Amino acid sequence: MAKIVVDVMLKPEILDPQGNAVASALPRLGFTFATSVRQGKRFEIEVVGDPTSEQLAEVEKAAEVLLSNPVIENYVVRVEK
């Protein structure tokens, strides 16, 4: 069943101490690939059947009002099969 996914990330200019902590933990474990890590949130939303365009518009609204704080965060809404 398809679900609606909302990814919420801190805006690039906002300091992300959690991402920085992860970035500094990686090399301690021998993982040397990362030049930067940003940490965000992912919401998985299920609806009956396949999401309609009306439902996606509602989710967009909810993402703006509740799921993200537009002062510090960006969000992306998408459908995942």
Partner 1 sequence: MRVGVITFPGTLDDRDAARAVIAGGAEAVALWHADADLKNVDAVILPGGFSYGDYLRCGAISRFAPVMKLVIEAAGKGMPVLGICNGFQVLCESHLLPGALTRNSDLHFLCRDQEIEITNTQTAWTSSYSVGQKIVIPLKNGEGSFQCDDETLAQLEGEGRVIARYVGQNPNGSRNLIAGISNARGNVVGLMPHPEHAIDALTGPTAEGLGFFTSILNAMVK
Question: In the complex, which residues of this chain contact partner 1 (CB under 8 A)?
Answer: 10, 13-15, 17-18, 21, 66-67, 69, 71-72
Q: How far is the CB of 49 from partner 1 (least distance, A)?
A: 27
Q: Are the beta carbons of 78 and 9 closer than 8 angstroms? A: no
C-alpha 67/C-alpha 60 separation (Å) is 9
State the minimum distance, in angstroms, from the CB of residue 14 to partner 1. Answer: 6
Least distance in angstroms from the C-beta of 17 to partner 1? 5
C-alpha distances out from residue 30 to 33, 65, 70, Å: 9, 41, 36
Decide whether 37 or 72 has the Cβ nearer to partner 1.
Answer: 72
Structural tokens at position 52? 């309609």
